[in-house]
Amino acid sequence: MSSRRELLKLGTLAGVSALIPGAADAARLGALRGPNVNSSADDGPQPTRQQLQGQVKGSFYVYRPGHPDVRLVLVEVGDPALARGKSRPECFRALFRGPAKTPLGQNTYAILNRWLGQLELFLVPVGPAVSGMRYYEASFNRVVPEGQVA
């Protein structure tokens, strides 16, 4: 059961979120936090290429236990570097950009997006920081059900 302090905190966050752009996502991320945020035997449904393409330039908030949340921006959704010219909708990558001052290590993170909800993504840093920004990649490789043509 929630304490009165937690209830007041969530109420305050909800009120502030109405006034500050992007604060609603941060408040929602705070509400999703819990003891099992990073432990997941079943990651649940992952976004499709089309869903992520609809969120290019959108904000994704990374939850890091014991550290401030990190805001990433989805920069690009495309084919893997080794696709050799053949585009396959079930295999793609998502490229994110975030501040270099709060680097993320290669790891699986709980991530929140306003439209896609909470996701568990394995992020990999890509190259060195450029102009105060770091880049991260998430790769997706799905199995095509039998009888479907890729």
DSSP state of 134: E
DSSP state of 77: E
Hey, is 5 helix, strand or coil? helix
Looking at residue 29, its pLDDT comes to 52
Residue 126 included in any domain: yes
Whether 109 contacts 63, CB under 8 Å: yes
Q: Tell me which residues of the chain have a pLDDT lower than 50.
A: 1, 13-22, 33-42
Report the alpha-carbon angle 39-70-65, nearest 5: 35
Q: What element of type H or E holds 94?
A: strand 91-99
Hey, is 135 helix, strand or coil? strand
Give how many domains the chain has, as a whole number.
2
Looking at residue 80, its pLDDT comes to 78
Residue 149 included in any domain: no
127 and 71 inside one domain: yes
116 and 47 inside one domain: yes
Residue 146 included in any domain: no
Residue 147 included in any domain: no
Residue 78 included in any domain: yes
26 and 76 inside one domain: no
Instruction: Give per-residue pLDDT as tens, 95-134.
Output: 999 999 999 999 999 999 999 999 999 999 999 999 999 9
Rounded to whole angstroms, how far apart are CA atoms 140 and 15?
Answer: 37
15 and 89 inside one domain: no
Domain of residue 23 covers 1-32
Residue 148 included in any domain: no
19 and 76 inside one domain: no
Looking at residue 124, its pLDDT comes to 97
Rounded to whole angstroms, how far apart are CA atoms 18 and 26?
Answer: 12
Rounded to whole angstroms, how far apart are CA atoms 48 and 115?
Answer: 13
